Amino acid sequence: MEQPAVRAPAAPRTARLVDGLVAAAPRTAWFVDGLLAAGTAVAVLSVTVWFGGRLDVVGTLPLALWLGVLLLTCRRWPLAVLLLSVQAVVVFRTAGLTDVGWVWPVSAAYAVLAADDRPGRPGLPWAAGVGLAELACAGVWEMSAGGATVREALGSLGAEALWLAVLLAAATAYRNRLRWRAELDERLLRAARERDVEAGRRIAEARLDIARELHDVVGHTLTVVGLQLRVAAEALDDSPEEARNALATAQQVRTMALRDLRALVHVLRAPGEVTEPAAGVFEIAALVDRMRSTELDIRLETAGDLAAVPAPVSLAVHRIVQEALTNTVRHAQASQAKVGIRCGEGRVEVSVADDGRVEVSVADDSRTSAQPPQTAGHGIRGMDERVRALGGDFSAGPHGKSGGWLVWAAIPVPGFRP
Distance CA 83, CA 78 (A): 9
**Is 227 inside any structural domain?**
no
The residues near 370 (Cβ < 8 Å, ≥ 6 apart) are 360, 397
Residues 286 and 189 occupy one common structural domain: no
Residues 33 and 158 occupy one common structural domain: yes
Residues 167 and 294 occupy one common structural domain: no
Number of domains in the chain: 2
Choosing from 156, 179, 194, the residue where a domain stops is 194
pLDDT of 332 reads 75
In contact, 157 and 139? CB cutoff 8 Å: yes
pTM, two decimals, is: 0.43
List the CATH number of the domain containing 335.
3.30.565.10
pLDDT of 78 reads 86
Residues 290 and 171 occupy one common structural domain: no
**Is 202 inside any structural domain?**
no
Residues 184 and 46 occupy one common structural domain: yes
- 24-33: which pairs have CB atoms within 8 A and are 24 or more residues apart? 29/75, 30/72, 33/71, 33/72, 33/74, 33/75
Residues 393 and 296 occupy one common structural domain: yes
**Is 127 inside any structural domain?**
yes
pLDDT of 339 reads 93
Residues 295 and 181 occupy one common structural domain: no
Average pLDDT for runs of 10 along the chain of length 418? 40 42 55 80 81 75 85 84 87 81 85 77 82 84 73 75 88 84 85 84 74 66 69 73 73 67 61 55 84 84 84 86 84 86 89 78 45 51 85 86 84 69
Report the Cα 292 to chain-centroid distance in Å.
49
**Is 263 inside any structural domain?**
no
**Is 113 inside any structural domain?**
yes
**Is 298 inside any structural domain?**
yes
**Is 21 inside any structural domain?**
yes
Residues 185 and 296 occupy one common structural domain: no
User: Burial, 185: exposed, middle or buried (Cβ in 10 Å; 0-12, 13-18, 19+)?
Assistant: middle
Choosing from 153, 171, 194, the residue where a domain stops is 194
pLDDT of 172 reads 85
Distance CA 86, CA 129 (A): 12
Choosing from 138, 161, 194, the residue where a domain stops is 194
Structural domain for 350, as ranges: 280-418
pLDDT of 274 reads 43
Dihedral sign, Cα of residue 260, residue 266, residue 268, residue 271: negative
**Is 60 inside any structural domain?**
yes
